[in-house]
Amino acid sequence: MSTFENTLSFARTQDASDPLRAFRDEFLFPQLNGEAVIYFTGNSLGLQPKGAAAAIRQELDDWAALGVEGHLRGKHPWYSYHEELTGPTARLVGAKEEEVVVMNQLTSNLHFLLVSFYRPDGKRRVILTEQRPFPSDTYALASQISFHGGVPDRDLVEVAPREGEHTLRTEDIIGRINDVGEELALVCFGGVNFYTGQAFEMEAIAKAAHAVGAVAGFDLAHAAGNLQLRLHDWNIDFAAWCTYKYLNSGPGSVAGAFIHERHLGKGLPLFAGWWGHDKHERFKMERTFKPMPTAEAWQVSNAPVLSMAVHRTALEQFDRAGMDNLRAKSERLTGYLAFVIGEAAKATGGQLEIITPSNPAQRGCQLSIVAHGRGKDLFHAICSHGVFADWREPNVIRIAPVPLYNTFEDVYRFGAILNSCLQ
């Protein structure tokens, strides 16, 4: 029996008892006709925290007042600015502090990590990934293969769903890892697939990769700030994520990286820069690179403080809310979304198929909907009612209710709009 009701009063009762409800007021919403839109695109660009402007202002003020001395004398000294992000980042992804660093951007970080972790050797050259990864990941992986003299058409292998299915079964992923066996150099998967919304069983995938002598890395663009992650305990080798999606840190903001403790201080090959050099000796300007003993060894450049200022504000909200609490709300909010979509389909005879797994353990907050017999017109109709959703070719509407700022009322109202657009 369903525990949900398709009524405004039910939705409002849920919101009234939501311990995280106050966070919504900490965000700026785009407006339509003087009203906040129903914002379901936090998987693409998270909303702006109200504290972002003041955080940037602080750095501009320190720059104005102190000039170069802001590096050491600013309120948040720029020289060590990234260190303020380490604690909240480690808590967010389930890592030890020495395992994480905030730097660069996502695809750049993938490349820097692949330099260390994709080391094709003899016949061990294959990279295994999910079908339809985000295009940037495909470009990064294929170009790394070419860079090492390999052939992407041969060495980049995608695991596809079974005939008639949209998502991957873990047993099939593991079966494929075992089949490729000693030719497998690296498994590089998303944490959550951007298109289907499927959350992969990262721990099981990493374990299978290790069993055949390969390494396992993850692109957590759609997982960081969405799922409860335990990167250290899951024995993930490396990971990278952006911070402008679920992490609300602004367009093109700085990204995150994780390198498991067991790879630190082992002299792994890396592309070096001065910010990865031992911080106590950085300004001796020595010729010989002496890496930091932590994930900070992978830093190449000094920190982009203005975007880090926003990220610091956003991480502070995650710390206050707690990822466990966010996830508890998220499972219920997305469950309610699945329910109202089902109600709209029932009421109208609309053929709506949710291709995201129905098991909450296999998804984050996003649901991907295929409307059979309807195309982009349905998407445009929904948007014209003040819903921010997105469309992915060939025929998927992605809806991502975010537990930090979306409400059950948002979801209820979306269901009513969907219903009227299907009539």
Ligand X SMILES: *Cc1c(COP(=O)(O)O)cnc(C)c1O
Residue 310 vs residues 58, 71, 85, 275, 417: alpha-carbon distances, Å: 11, 18, 11, 21, 34
Cis peptide before 120 (omega within 30 of 0): no
SS3 of residue 366 by DSSP = coil
Smaller CB separation from ligand X, 94 or 190:
190
Name the minimum Å distance from CB 391 to ligand X.
Answer: 16
Name the minimum Å distance from CB 253 to ligand X.
Answer: 9
Name the minimum Å distance from CB 219 to ligand X.
Answer: 4
The neighbour count for residue 325, using CB atoms within 10 Å, is 14
Name the minimum Å distance from CB 131 to ligand X.
Answer: 13
Smaller CB separation from ligand X, 20 or 173:
173
Smaller CB separation from ligand X, 120 or 256:
256
Q: What are phi and psi of 3, to 5 degrees?
A: -100, 10
Name the minimum Å distance from CB 220 to ligand X.
Answer: 8
H or E segment and range at residue 415: helix 408-422
The residue ranges that bind ligand X (CB under 6 A) are 105-107, 134, 136-137, 190, 194, 219, 221-222, 242
Smaller CB separation from ligand X, 136 or 228:
136
Q: Which residues contact 217 (CB under 8 A, 6 or more apart)?
A: 113, 114, 117, 186, 187, 188, 236, 237, 238, 239, 240
Smaller CB separation from ligand X, 84 or 219:
219
Contact 145, 125 (CB under 8 A): yes
Smaller CB separation from ligand X, 137 or 296:
137
What is the C-alpha separation between 169 and 175, in angstroms, rounded? 10
Name the minimum Å distance from CB 121 to ligand X.
Answer: 26
Q: What are phi and psi of 380, to 5 degrees?
A: -65, -40
Structure tokens, 387: 């819903």
